[in-house]
C-alpha cells in the first residue's frame, strides 16, 4: 500500500485527466501500473453493509435560480455518457455557477459543493448488472453518479486533489418494471430520445434542461444513505471522495437503459459497445461505512 505522503504528492503532481487511450475496462487491475493511486489506499467501489450507525444528518440539496433552465453538454467520452453541469455559457460572467449544490454545516461534511457532472455505469447486452457498488451482495442494473466539488477551491480540478474535496452521490438503478415494489424514479431529462446523438466516442450535443425533478430526486435519495471515504472509480483514482450511496430503491426508464447498453460505443467507428463500464469491488479494509438517515 502506498504511504500517504506519496499519495499526497501524487495528488499534487499528477493530472486529473487520464488521456482517453491510456486505460479501459478490459483490464482494470492494470490501471495501477500507469496510475499508482489506483493501487493505493481508500479505493472505490466497495460492497456496502449495515455495519455501523451514525446519527449525523445528510447534507441538503439546494438549487440555484437558474436550475429550471440550464444548458448542459452531453458527451460520449469513450468510457461513459457524461452530462457536464458546469457548461452553461450563460453563466460565464460568474466563473463557476452550479445549477445544484450540496450544503452541509455539520459532520461529516462542511461547506458547499457544486454539481460538476453526472455520468452513468451500466451492464452489457447479456443482461449483467452494471452498478459499481454492491449493497450487501446485490448489484443493480446501472448506477448514476452525481459528482460535486468543494466550491471553496478555485477550480474543480484543484478540489479533486484534496481528500474530501469531492462528494459523489451514487444512485444504483433498477430497470423499470424489474420489481413490483414502488421505486423512486430517476428523471432522465429526455436523454433517451437523444442518446443516438452521442453513440460514438467524441460525439456531443447541448440542450436546455429543467433540473427541478433532479434536485427533488436527490433530496429524497439522501434520506437514507451509506457513507464512506473512497476514490474516483476511474483513473487516476484520486482517493478524495466522500461517497453517499443511496439505500432508497430507484428505477430507471427501460428505453434509456436499453439505448445505453445497445446503442453507445466506446470507439469512434462504432465497433465496440461501451457496456460493462464498471470497476470491480475493492477492499474495504479498515474503513467504516456509516448509515446516515433523516426523516
Ligand atoms: C464542462 O464545460 C466547461 C465549460 O465549457 C469546461 O470548462 C469543462 O472542462 C467541462 N468539463 C468536462 C468534465 O468536460
Ligand atoms: C457481458 O459481461 C459479462 C461479464 O460481466 C461477460 O461474461 C459476457 O461475456 C458479456 N457479454 C457480452 C455479449 O459481451
Ligand atoms: C420545471 O419543472 C417543475 C417540476 O416538474 C415544474 O413545476 C416547473 O414548472 C418547471 N419549470 C419550467 C420553467 O419549466
Ligand atoms: C487503517 O489502516 C491504515 C493502514 O493500512 C492506517 O494508516 C490507518 O491509520 C488505519 N485507520 C484506522 C482508523 O484504523
| CA–CA separation, 58 and 225 (whole Å) | 8
Grid cell for residue 189? 431529462
Asked if residue 28 lies in contact with residue 235, where contact means CB atoms within 8 angstroms, the answer is: no
219, three cell numbers: 433530496
For residue 94, what are the contacts with CB-CB under 8 A and spacing of at least 6? none
The answer to whether 103 and 59 are in contact (CB under 8 A) is yes
Q: Which residues line ligand 3 (CB under 6 A)?
A: 68-69, 210, 212-213
Domains and CATH numbers, the chain: 57-278 (3.10.200.10)
Biggest CA–CA distance in the chain, Å, is: 51
CA of 148 to the centre of ligand 2 (A): 31
Distance 145 CA to ligand 2 centre (A): 23
Q: Which residue has the cell 449483467?
A: 128
Q: What is the pLDDT of residue 292?
A: 85
Question: Residue 26: nearest ligand to its CA?
Answer: 2
pLDDT of residue 204: 97
Give the residue, by CA position, lying nearest to ligand 2 atom 3. 128
The number of helices, as runs of H, and strands, as runs of E, in the chain is 5, 15
Give the torsion sign (CA, 215, 134, 120, 172). negative
State the Cα–Cα distance between residues 87 and 10, nearest whole angstrom.
28
Q: What is the pTM of this model?
A: 0.94
Q: What is the pLDDT along the chain (295 residues), one digit of tens a residue?
A: 788 899 999 999 988 888 878 899 999 999 999 999 999 999 999 999 876 666 567 778 887 767 888 889 999 999 999 999 987 666 655 555 788 999 988 777 889 999 999 999 999 999 999 999 999 999 999 999 999 999 999 889 999 999 999 999 999 999 998 888 889 999 999 999 999 999 999 999 999 999 999 999 999 999 999 999 999 999 999 999 999 999 999 999 999 999 999 999 999 999 999 999 999 999 999 888 888 888 6
Among 122, 126, 142, 280, residue to substitute to test ligand 2 (most atoms within 8 Å of Cβ): 126
Residue 295: what pLDDT?
A: 63
Q: Which atom of ligand 1 is nearest to the CA of 85?
A: 1
- Residue 48 forms beta bridges with which residues? 135
Amino acid at each position: 500500500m502506498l504511504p500517504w505522503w506519496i499519495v499526497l504528492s501524487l495528488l499534487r503532481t499528477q493530472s486529473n485527466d487520464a488521456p482517453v487511450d491510456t486505460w479501459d475496462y478490459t483490464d482494470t487491475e492494470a490501471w495501477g501500473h500507469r496510475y499508482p493511486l489506483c493501487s493505493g489506499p481508500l479505493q472505490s467501489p466497495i460492497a456496502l453493509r449495515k455495519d455501523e450507525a451514525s446519527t449525523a444528518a445528510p447534507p441538503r440539496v439546494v438549487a440555484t435560480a437558474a436550475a429550471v433552465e440550464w444548458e448542459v453538454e452531453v458527451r460520449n467520452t469513450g468510457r461513459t455518457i457524461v452530462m457536464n453541469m458546469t457548461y452553461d455559457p450563460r453563466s460565464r460572467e460568474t466563473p463557476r455557477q452550479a445549477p445544484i449544490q450540496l450544503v452541509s454545516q455539520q459532520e461529516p461534511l462542511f461547506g458547499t459543493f457544486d454539481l460538476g457532472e453526472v455520468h452513468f455505469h451500466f451492464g452489457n447486452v447479456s443482461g449483467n448488472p452494471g452498478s459499481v457498488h454492491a449493497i450487501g451482495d446485490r448489484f443493480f442494473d446501472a448506477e448514476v453518479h452525481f459528482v460535486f466539488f468543494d466550491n471553496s477551491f478555485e477550480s474543480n480540478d484543484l478540489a479533486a486533489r484534496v481528500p474530501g474535496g469531492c462528494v459523489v452521490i451514487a444512485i444504483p438503478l433498477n430497470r423499470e418494471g424489474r420489481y413490483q415494489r414502488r421505486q423512486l424514479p430517476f428523471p432522465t431529462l429526455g436523454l433517451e430520445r437523444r442518446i443516438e446523438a452521442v453513440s460514438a466516442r467524441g460525439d456531443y450535443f447541448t440542450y436546455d434542461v429543467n433540473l427541478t425533478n433532479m434536485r427533488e430526486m436527490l433530496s429524497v435519495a439522501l434520506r437514507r444513505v451509506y457513507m464512506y471515504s473512497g476514490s474516483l472509480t476511474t483513473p487516476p483514482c484520486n482517493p478524495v471522495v466522500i461517497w453517499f450511496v443511496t439505500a432508497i430503491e430507484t428505477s430507471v426508464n427501460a428505453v434509456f437503459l436499453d439505448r445505453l447498453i445497445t446503442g453507445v460505443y466506446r470507439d469512434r467507428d462504432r465497433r465496440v459497445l461501451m457496456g460493462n463500464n464498471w470497476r470491480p469491488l475493492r477492499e474495504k479494509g479498515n474503513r467504516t461505512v456509516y448509515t446516515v438517515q433523516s426523516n
